[in-house]
Homo-oligomer: A and B are copies of this chain.
Amino acid sequence: MKWLSTEEQAAWRAFLHATTLLEDHLDRQLQRDAGMPHMYYALLSTLSETPGRRMRMTELAEKTKITRSRLSHAVARLEGNGWLRRESCPSDRRGQIAVLTDAGYEELVRTAPGHVTAVRTAIFDRLSPDQVKQLGEISQIIADGLHEPEGADVPWLR
């Protein structure tokens, strides 16, 4: 059993603090200005960038790295707000398609500047271009490692 080195411990602690504070900060900012938590905003934002502003539920869940269950609950709530609507998928009768409504798009247009400013102020205004590059690379490595579960339950059957 190998423990963390002093440097690793320090980095891990700082990382935990940064992510905890940042999540809290952005959730608060968006809850105040847009009436939704950060993840819900991310769903609208993701949809806004797709052709037709629509996406299959599973695809949207994968793109935003959340579970299908979480997405179902979130979409139900956002649909209640009128920012999203569901359509059934023509090619697969199990499928549902989440569609960003005009009202949802307007809400995004209205709140995006404030959110981007919050992100910029918290992160990018404080980092050098090289640090931004480093952060991107490091994040990518971590995300890649978690994207497809590594150790399956029965590795000897792989």
> When the two chains form their complex, are residues B136 and A10 in contact, meaning their CB atoms are under 8 A apart?
yes
Q: Number of A residues whose C-beta is below 8 Å from B?
A: 56
Is A76 in the interface zone, CB < 8 Å from B? no
Interface residue? A154 (CB, 8 A): no
Q: Is A18 interfacial (CB 8 A cutoff)? A: yes
Evaluate contact between A139 and B17: CB separation under 8 angstroms.
Answer: yes
CA distance A58 to B61 in the complex (A): 37
| Chain B residues whose CB sits within 8 angstroms of the CB of A127 once the complex forms | 138, 141
Interface residues of A, Cβ cutoff 8 Å to B: 1-4, 7-8, 10-12, 14-25, 42, 64-67, 113, 116-117, 119-124, 126-127, 129, 131-143, 145-147, 150-151
